[in-house]
Amino acid sequence: MSDRSGGALDGVVVVDMTTARSGPTCTRQLADMGADVIRVVDPRRGDIGGSDGANLVRSKRSVAIDLRVPDGRRAFDALIERADVFVENMRPAVKTRLGIGPDVLCERNPRLVYASLSGFGQTGPYADRAGVDQIAQGLGGVMSVTGPPGHGPWRVGIAISDSAAGTFLTQGVLAALFARERTGRGQWVHTSLLESMLNLMDFQACRWLTDGEVPAQSGNDHPTFFPMGTYRCADGWVNIAGLKAIEEFLGALDLLGLLDDDRFATNEARRAHRAEFTGACEMRLASMTVADCVERMVAADIPAGPVLTLDAVFDDPQVRHLAFVETRPDPDGRPVALLRHPVTFDDTPTAIGDGPHAPGADTVSVLRECGVDDATIAEWSTSGGIGPSAEPARWLE
């Protein structure tokens, strides 16, 4: 449909009917890999706004369709007939009520990859509950292992289940497209915030499932390896993964004398006196800058790095070298900073095609590409089946 040549998904058409964060994360990744993503917005509601919304919906064309109106449904069907992928994150009962469930759309287009995200899964006792990231963090166990010991549950500081679910669904879509090359058929792929959160629990989950151990909060210390954690220096905080021989770790800090103390002479003793050992290390680090500490650790081939606020993150020389930020104009021509896709392809590179489109801005051009003539488009517009959107997004307010 649109010219987005060069990416790995060049020629793949995606109809995006997602809201919030998890679904738009999936379709943004598909767009970055070259797919032509057509975002369907409700003319009554517009689209996600703010800098966050701009980053989520960049590189996507926007059409405004009202599925409550028969002509809107006709416009939607025209998109589905041409699509390779349809992505939605409605509750299971909602898409059934709207008549756009996988059985309906895959019958209309048997090659369609129908991709769904939900809070808790497509079936089961929680299937039709509303679900958001923090609920999944709690239900999936991550809040029980995050934060300092004895301080109660702590939320992870990013929408981790949203981002994970969107990324896992992207993987599912790519695998389904690959399978379609072999079978000629599309299929329904789906995941949820809860399933993605459980998957990310990974070794912590296995500590319970295999070892019968309920993992507890361990703050900034690694839950199983030691010494490995966050330490205070004279001018900030540093993460150190002292996984090499203890002599090398303490040697880098000029603290080899600690091994003469019975409390620290063996690994078992150091674990039993972990707080005292950490305190002794931090007494030395209190006279050392973060940069000095990192330099000493790197010289000893011990992983280490500063704990940065986001302003410092994007001023870091390695981050600048990676060229992770690109600027594109919003619909009013104002520059918006956007994050590039984190995977590099040496033959079919990812790219940020353009900035966010105004809600409904591409309705006419997309429908023309679907073979709908101008008279029909005018008729659908008059009936209210298609937009423009009544609520334009404001990206920089």
**DSSP code per residue over 36-103:** EEEEEE-TTT----HHHHHHHHTTEEEEEB-TTSHHHHHHHHHHHHH-SEEEE---HHHHHHHT-SHH
Report percent pLDDT > 90 for the chain: 93
Per the structure block, which two tokens stand in for 304? 């280490």
Asked about 221 being catalytic, the answer comes back as: no
Task: Report the share of the chain in percent with pLDDT over 70.
Answer: 98
Q: How far apart are the first and last CA of the chain?
A: 32
Confidence of residue 389 (pLDDT cuts 50, 70, 90): confident
When pLDDT is averaged across residues 334-353 and rounded to a whole number, the result is 96
pLDDT-derived band at 397, boundaries 50, 70, 90: low
> Residues 297-319: pLDDT tens digits?
999 999 999 999 999 999 999 99
Is 2's pLDDT higher than 60?
no
Structure tokens at 244: 């090499």
Confidence class for position 392, pLDDT limits 50, 70, 90: confident
Q: Choosing from 32, 36, 84, 162, which is the catalytic residue?
A: 162
Strands (E), the chain: 13-17, 36-41, 60-64, 85-88, 113-118, 188-192, 228-232, 237-241, 304-306, 325-329, 335-339
Q: Are 254 and 311 in contact (CB under 8 A)?
A: no
Q: What is the rounded average pLDDT of the residues 272-284?
A: 95
Mean pLDDT across the stretch 328-350?
96
Closest of 59, 7, 325 to residue 174, by C-alpha: 7
Label residue 268 exposed, middle or buried (CB < 10 Å: 0-12, 13-18, 19+): exposed
pLDDT in tens, 76-126: 999 999 999 999 999 999 999 999 999 999 999 999 999 999 999 999 999
From the number of C-beta atoms within 10 Å of its C-beta (0-12, 13-18, 19+), residue 271 rates as exposed
pLDDT at 1: 40
Residue 3 pLDDT greater than 50, yes or no: no
Query: Which of helix, strand or coil describes residue 7?
Result: coil
Give the model's pLDDT for residue 4: 52
98-103: long-range contacts at Cβ-Cβ below 8 A with a sequence spacing of 24 or more?
98/67, 99/73, 100/17, 100/67, 100/76, 102/188
Tell me what the pLDDT averaged over the chain comes to.
95
Residue 166 near residue 26 (C-beta atoms within 8 A):
yes
**Are residues 60 and 4 in contact, defined by beta-carbon separation less than 8 angstroms?**
no
| Residue of higher predicted confidence among 44 and 140 | 140
Q: Indicate the fold that domain 13-202+322-383 takes in CATH.
A: Rossmann fold (3.40.50)
pLDDT band at 243 (very low <50, low <70, confident <90, very high): confident
In angstroms, the CA 133 to CA 162 distance is 6
Overall average pLDDT of the 260-284 stretch: 95
pLDDT average, residue stretch 44-52 = 91
Residue ranges matching CATH 3.40.50.10540 in the chain: 13-202+322-383
Examine the pLDDT at 344 and tell me if it is beyond 60: yes
Please compute the mean of the pLDDT values over residues 368-375 and round it to a whole number: 97
